[in-house]
Amino acid sequence: MAVSSSIVQFNPAASFLTADVTPGKVFTREDLSPAQQMFGRISQDFMRTEVLPHEKEIYAKDFALVRRLLVKAGDLDLLRVDIPEAYDGLGLDKVSSAYVSETLGLCPSFPLGTHTTIGTLPIVYFGTEAQKTRYLPLLASGEKVGAYALTEPGAGSDALNIRTKATLSADGKHYLINGQKMWITNGGFADIFTIFAKIDGEKFTAFIVEREMGVVSGREEPKLGLDGSSTTALILENVKVPVENVLGEIGQGHKVAFNILNLGRLKLGTRNMGSAKQALNGALQYALERQQFGRAIAEFGMIQQKLAQMAVLSYVGDAMVFRCLGDVDAALAAAGHETLTILKTIESFAVECSINKVWTSEALAWVVDEAIQVHGGYGYSKEYPPERAYRDARITRIYEGTNEINRIIIAPRLLKNAAVAQLLIHPSAAAPPVADGLFPAERQILSAAKRLLLLTLAAAKNAYGDKLANEQEVLGHIADIAIETYAIESAVLRTSKLIAARGGVEGATPVDIMHVYFSDAADKVEHSARQVLAALAADAADRAPLQDGIRSIASHETFNTVAGRRRIATAVIKAGHYPY
Ligand SMILES: Cc1cc2nc3c(=O)[nH]c(=O)nc-3n(C[C@H](O)[C@H](O)[C@H](O)COP(=O)(O)OP(=O)(O)OC[C@H]3O[C@@H](n4cnc5c(N)ncnc54)[C@H](O)[C@@H]3O)c2cc1C
């Protein structure tokens, strides 16, 4: 399997702010190798031919069937992607793994994503040789199903505050685990759990726990969406876990918990975009068939505007998530095989993972909401697909760290980055140069957005110092500037690369998509920067440069988004599906 790192060069974390990234240096969806595409097709065929025909049984929680389907997925190697070859896996790159995840958007209730990510990766990255040999082949084949149990009734976002306790037995051979977990995906039928508990109520530690050791599942939680997935509490009463099943180091469970969340966020982006494109294609088909006032509703400007914006978000989201995956793969290829180095490398991209998690989950929320609107009253019916897609999408803003938690960590993490700190010595002078190349006007906006991000980071640091964590609203506005900066840069890089490869700029739909997105994003960046400015004290020294920065982004020429979106909608309608 070709590894994406052969295409991209090494772009370190936060390079979207600190470096002049050129199109040749980023991975895009168009760079997927034939082998990666083939694997994606296998996964898509499996979802279409094996999973979707059984939707009814899956939504009725027929977990025996779900288990049989997981074994079939194992037979097709779909559960082996992230597992090293030595343990019956394929050991593929993150691009391949996330590309498989994209197809899971076809049926988000099917537990393949949970099983292969949070259900398997803790053992891949933190397991001892003996633990990997014992458990990974069983997870790779689908014979055993994995789950990850961190959350408790009283500890969700505040995960380090768990109360589940582990006590060493008198003979020193076992830990006895007592407590309760909440909202555990695959909780009703999983066999192998990564469970977090505090040894003696203090040392936060991860354990590999087999169901037979005494795990009892609570009832299936009645939920808003994901009707077919199993979500239960776990009741842990004197669960007897051998000492050999401590996962990672005692007292270092937070490393397992947070690194696995980073990996989850990395892969969630493609899954969100898979669901968004599925909703767009469904809305498009309906709009072409539904007649009102004697014409297909797809001919109306208001409907075209929605279809076009769905395509804009799908294109920009893909640009962001594949760029990030490519950068992580390239960094991993340079890092070597030592587990700690691998984890540190992935952790260094925590900002990008949070950006992608927040952006793609909110883009998906908009797309599924408007897909209902395109369907009118039928969109509100349980007998049409958008209703389920709308409910299923809602969780993506809550799990893998809520979007609030992801937003408040972006600015502090950027401030800790050495290259960013260097630029913050003179943030006004640090406006990155506009590189030669296509789309100079967009590059000016991008440069202005980067400068505003640096200026707001500097202003917040100077104004609030070590109390910055208390200013969550300001952190949220700065996060939004970072998110849009990453989005617009990814859009211009993907488009430049695509146009350079295929030739011709005039009339190209990706160029319209990029213009439309830039126009809206520049307004959002300006708005967020104004909010940071308004929150600063009247005599703050950072006000003047920030005002300058806002003037510079506000001066961008207004693109005709009405005409742009009409052209995008026309192209999508002509293709009959989302074409990129
Ligand atoms: C369907 C589903 C599947 C899940 N699967 C799993 C799983 O497999 N394994 C697992 O361990 N967990 C799982 N979870 C749990 C999920 O990760 C948590 O629900 C999530 O982390 C939020 O925790 P909470 O529900 O306790 O909300 P809380 O932490 O109580 O948050 C409530 C609100 O307060 C906000 N908030 C909290 N703290 C702060 C803060 N410091 N600053 C600003 N705002 C804050 C949150 O953003 C949120 O808006 C699942 C949940 C659901 C619903």
Average pLDDT over residues 70-77: 97
Q: Are strands 146-149 and 192-199 parallel, antiparallel or unpaired?
A: parallel
* Percent of the chain predicted with pLDDT > 90: 83
Cβ neighbours, 10 Å, residue 369: 16
Long-range Cβ pairs for the range 469-474 (8 Å, 24+): 469/408, 469/412, 471/535, 472/404, 472/408, 473/531, 473/535, 474/531, 474/532, 474/535
Nearest to 187, CA basis, from 58, 60, 61, 361: 61
Average pLDDT over residues 412-436: 81
Ligand 1 center to 232 CA (angstroms)? 14
The SS3 of residue 66 is helix
pLDDT at position 390 is: 98
Q: Kindly give the number of the ligand 1 atom that is closest to the alpha carbon of 403.
A: 47
Ligand 1 center to 403 CA (angstroms)? 10
- Any ligand 1 atom below 6 A from CB of 183: yes
Tell whether the model's pLDDT for residue 579 goes beyond 50. yes
Worst-scoring range by mean pLDDT, 152-166, 213-227, 497-511?
Answer: 497-511
In this structure, are residues 110 and 58 in contact, taking their beta carbons and an 8 Å threshold?
yes
Nearest to 516, CA basis, from 289, 306, 355: 306
- Any ligand 1 atom below 6 A from CB of 206: no
Mutate which of 160, 183, 231, 260 for ligand 1? The one with the most ligand atoms within 8 Å of its CB, which is 183
Ligand 1 center to 538 CA (angstroms)? 37
pLDDT at position 524 is: 97
Q: How confident is the model at residue 82 (pLDDT cuts 50, 70, 90)?
A: very high
Average pLDDT over residues 455-479: 96
Mutate which of 398, 471, 474 for ligand 1? The one with the most ligand atoms within 8 Å of its CB, which is 398
Q: Report pLDDT digits (tens) over 245-279.
A: 999 999 999 999 998 988 899 889 999 999 999 99
Q: Report pLDDT digits (tens) over 512-541.
A: 999 999 999 999 999 999 999 999 988 888
Residue nearest to atom 31 of ligand 1 (CA): 157
CATH topology for 15-141 is Butyryl-Coa Dehydrogenase, subunit A; domain 1 (1.10.540)
Structure tokens at 463: 């104004």
Ligand 1 center to 578 CA (angstroms)? 33
Q: How confident is the model at residue 505 (pLDDT cuts 50, 70, 90)?
A: low
Q: Kindly give the number of the ligand 1 atom that is closest to the alpha carbon of 149.
A: 11
Q: How confident is the model at residue 558 (pLDDT cuts 50, 70, 90)?
A: confident
Q: How confident is the model at residue 388 (pLDDT cuts 50, 70, 90)?
A: very high
Which secondary-structure segment (H or E) carries 147?
strand 146-149
- Any ligand 1 atom below 6 A from CB of 149: yes
- Any ligand 1 atom below 6 A from CB of 128: no
Q: Where are the domains of the chain?
A: 15-141, 146-247, 257-575
- Any ligand 1 atom below 6 A from CB of 391: no
- Any ligand 1 atom below 6 A from CB of 304: no
- Any ligand 1 atom below 6 A from CB of 184: yes
**Phi/psi of residue 127, nearest 5 degrees:** -70, 150
pLDDT at position 198 is: 98
- Give the CATH superfamily of 146-247: Butyryl-CoA Dehydrogenase, subunit A, domain 2 (2.40.110.10)
Ligand 1 center to 408 CA (angstroms)? 15
Nearest to 264, CA basis, from 166, 432, 103, 400: 400
**Phi/psi of residue 119, nearest 5 degrees:** -80, -20
Ligand 1 center to 58 CA (angstroms)? 25
Distance CA 89, CA 201 (A): 36
pLDDT at position 433 is: 58
Q: Kindly give the number of the ligand 1 atom that is closest to the alpha carbon of 404.
A: 47
Cβ neighbours, 10 Å, residue 517: 27
pLDDT at position 439 is: 87
Ligand 1 center to 148 CA (angstroms)? 14
DSSP string, 387-453: HHHHHHHGGGGTSSS-HHHHHHHHHHHHHH-HHHHHHTTSGGGGPPP--SSS-HHHHHHHHHHHHHH
Q: How confident is the model at residue 31 (pLDDT cuts 50, 70, 90)?
A: very high
Cβ neighbours, 10 Å, residue 337: 8
- Any ligand 1 atom below 6 A from CB of 156: yes
Tell whether the model's pLDDT for residue 416 goes beyond 70. yes
Question: CATH top-level class for 257-575?
Answer: mainly alpha
pLDDT at position 7 is: 47
pLDDT at position 156 is: 96
Ligand 1 center to 401 CA (angstroms)? 6
Tell whether the model's pLDDT for residue 479 goes beyond 60. yes
Cβ neighbours, 10 Å, residue 540: 14
pLDDT at position 501 is: 86
**Phi/psi of residue 220, nearest 5 degrees:** -70, 125
Structure tokens at 457: 């980071």
Q: Kindly give the number of the ligand 1 atom that is closest to the alpha carbon of 158.
A: 29
- Any ligand 1 atom below 6 A from CB of 491: no
DSSP state of 62: -
Q: How confident is the model at residue 6 (pLDDT cuts 50, 70, 90)?
A: very low
pLDDT at position 533 is: 96
Q: Mean pLDDT score of the chain, rounded to an integer?
A: 93
Q: Report pLDDT digits (tens) over 309-349.
A: 999 999 999 999 999 999 999 988 888 778 888 888 888 99
Residue 173's contacts (CB-CB under 8 Å, 6 or more residues apart) are 242, 243
Residue nearest to atom 40 of ligand 1 (CA): 405
Which secondary-structure segment (H or E) carries 504?
none
Mutate which of 402, 403, 407 for ligand 1? The one with the most ligand atoms within 8 Å of its CB, which is 402
Give the residue numbers annotated as catalytic, written as ranges. 400
Tell whether the model's pLDDT for residue 431 goes beyond 80. no
In this structure, are residues 184 and 150 in contact, taking their beta carbons and an 8 Å threshold?
no
- Any ligand 1 atom below 6 A from CB of 395: yes
- Looking at per-residue confidence, does 472 or 19 come out higher? 472
Q: Report pLDDT digits (tens) over 106-146.
A: 999 999 999 999 999 999 999 999 999 999 999 999 999 99
Ligand 1 center to 138 CA (angstroms)? 30
Place of tokens 């199993």: 230
DSSP string, 183-217: EEETTTT-SEEEEEEEETTTEEEEEEEEGGGTEEE
Which secondary-structure segment (H or E) carries 247?
strand 246-247
* Percent of the chain predicted with pLDDT > 70: 96
Residue nearest to atom 24 of ligand 1 (CA): 156
Worst-scoring range by mean pLDDT, 290-299, 301-310, 535-544?
Answer: 535-544
Cβ neighbours, 10 Å, residue 422: 11
pLDDT at position 5 is: 42
Average pLDDT over residues 216-222: 98
Tell whether the model's pLDDT for residue 561 goes beyond 80. yes
Distance CA 358, CA 446 (A): 20
DSSP string, 233-246: EEEEEEEEEEGGGE
Mutate which of 109, 150, 151 for ligand 1? The one with the most ligand atoms within 8 Å of its CB, which is 151
